[in-house]
Amino acid sequence: MHSHHPETKPSPFNLYEVAHSPPVSFIGARTGATGTLDDLNASPPAPKAWVNPSLVNAVMGRLKSSQHLHSRLNQHSIIHENLFDPKRDHYRIVWSKNMITSAGMFRVQRKAAKPELVLLLRDGKEERRDGQRYMRQILEGIYAKCGRGQESVEDLLQLILVHEASEIHRRKKVETLAPSIKTEIRAIIEEAKAYFAFPMERRRNLDQLYKILDKSNDPRRKIYSRALDVLESTGEKNRRLSGADWIFSRHSPLCRGRKTLS
């Protein structure tokens, strides 16, 4: 594992209760999208368990040391300011059910405290049948084996954090989490820049991980790996495209399935 990031044991997540004030205020990456905001309102996300602190700390260390190579945003500071809980010394990043995408930002309400932001990752156990593996099981299993698989899991979480940091920044320090197509476009561009900063071998390994995650749903739909297909098809040069160019590009992930999160 990562000896320079000691394992911590945060307090049980049952200290938190999801705020159920409709409409649901949620922002999320399109990777893994399987539902709509109406679905989210009908069944709000429900946090289940903390994501491995070693994984989170490793990725936060990456952002701190390398974000300047692909972004003008201080993504590390944005995530730390909005998701780190100093009282419990860990980041509010959790596995959750009732997710319409692989990851998203949500507000939770703890008793006698102000609302807090939590980054939700799809657990997916409740969606599976007949022994089919699910997102959390896949990622935790691969990460525990170390090696290139562990690196790919960190790459996946890094892209998620880059995306969400951009969304938070564009919403002026989280004054609102209302979905915004322009904000989503900027987040995808930031994600693309971070992706193309990875060496080619890591991009290939990450693609294999996304294809494994496809099998947790329907491989023909490619709900995970399609996101990387889009980035690769547009090419590295397109990571500098303006928002307007992305809107009208036939390759843009925003030109298809807009009703999902727009």
Amino acid at 116: E
Bridge partners of 50, per DSSP, are 94
Residue 1 falls within a domain, yes or no?
A: no
pLDDT in tens, 62-93: 999 988 888 888 999 999 999 999 988 999 99
Rounded to whole angstroms, the Cα distance separating 27 from 119 reads 10
pLDDT class for 28, splitting at 50, 70, 90?
low
The position carrying tokens 């003008």 is 72
Residue 161 falls within a domain, yes or no?
A: yes
Residue 168 falls within a domain, yes or no?
A: yes
pLDDT higher than threshold 80 for residue 2: no
Between 202 and 9, the higher pLDDT residue: 202
Rounded mean pLDDT of 97-105? 87
Q: What is the mean pLDDT of the chain?
A: 78
What is the reported pLDDT for 79? Answer: 95
* pTM confidence score: 0.79
What is the residue range of 156's domain?
13-255
pLDDT in tens, 106-163: 877 766 667 788 999 999 998 887 778 999 999 999 999 999 999 999 999 999 999 9
Residue 104 falls within a domain, yes or no?
A: yes
State percent of the chain over pLDDT 90: 38
> Among the ranges 13-17, 44-48, 177-181, which has the highest mean pLDDT value?
44-48
pLDDT class for 209, splitting at 50, 70, 90?
very high
Number of domains in the chain: 1
What is the reported pLDDT for 185? Answer: 81
Residue 128 falls within a domain, yes or no?
A: yes
Residue 178 falls within a domain, yes or no?
A: yes
Residue 7 falls within a domain, yes or no?
A: no
Rounded mean pLDDT of 6-30? 48
Which of 18-27, 77-86, 175-184 shows the lowest per-residue confidence on average (mean pLDDT)?
Answer: 18-27
Bridge partners of 110, per DSSP, are 16
Q: What angle do CA 214, 154, 233 make, to 5 degrees?
A: 55
Rounded to whole angstroms, the Cα distance separating 161 from 155 reads 10
Residue 156 falls within a domain, yes or no?
A: yes
SS3 257: coil
What is the reported pLDDT for 177? Answer: 60
pLDDT in tens, 85-95: 998 899 999 99
252 in Cβ contact with 184 (< 8 Å): no
pLDDT higher than threshold 60 for residue 244: no
